[in-house]
Copies of this chain bind each other. A is one copy, B any other.
């Protein structure tokens, strides 16, 4: 559904979000230890999210990643869009160049409705919402 990078990104953001609630910055090592994600790859994803303004970072000692925005203002949709783009929310289920309701593929009606559910779910869930389901054991394997 989502790419590996996107899944890692979401998991990492929950770790950073939780720390940010306590006004703590988190280094990439700690993020990846807790989120169980590969370090260099996750770092790259974080840097992309910083560039896109979802995340903030500070270099140097006592630096790390943090979130300055309201955790309720960052939706799952925003995160997925930033990492994977909007494809999963708009593409035709049978791979036609454009999903076009006026020229629907045989699956369009049924598929578009599921896709719409996914989109609504991602739009209505914020990073803050995810934090309530985040316990220390969650990403342990």
Contacts and interface: CB of A to CB of B under 8 A. Distances in A.
A137 B114 CA distance: 24
A95 interface: yes
Nearest to A6: B95
26 contacts: A1-B1, A1-B91, A1-B115, A2-B93, A7-B93, A10-B107, A11-B95, A76-B107, A97-B141, A103-B137, A104-B138, A105-B133, A105-B139, A106-B131, A106-B132, A106-B133, A106-B134, A106-B138, A107-B125, A107-B130, A107-B133, A108-B133, A111-B121, A114-B114, A114-B117, A117-B117
Contacts of A138: 103-106
A66 to B, nearest CB: 19
Contact of A118 (B14, B76, B114, B131): B114
Interface of A: 1-2, 4, 7-8, 10-11, 14, 76, 88, 91, 93-97, 103-111, 113-115, 117-118, 121, 125, 130-134, 137-139, 141
Q: Which of A8, A97, A132, A133 has the most CB of B within 10 A?
A: A133
The 8 nearest A-B residue pairs measured at CB: A7-B95, A106-B133, A106-B130, A106-B134, A114-B118, A7-B94, A110-B121, A114-B117
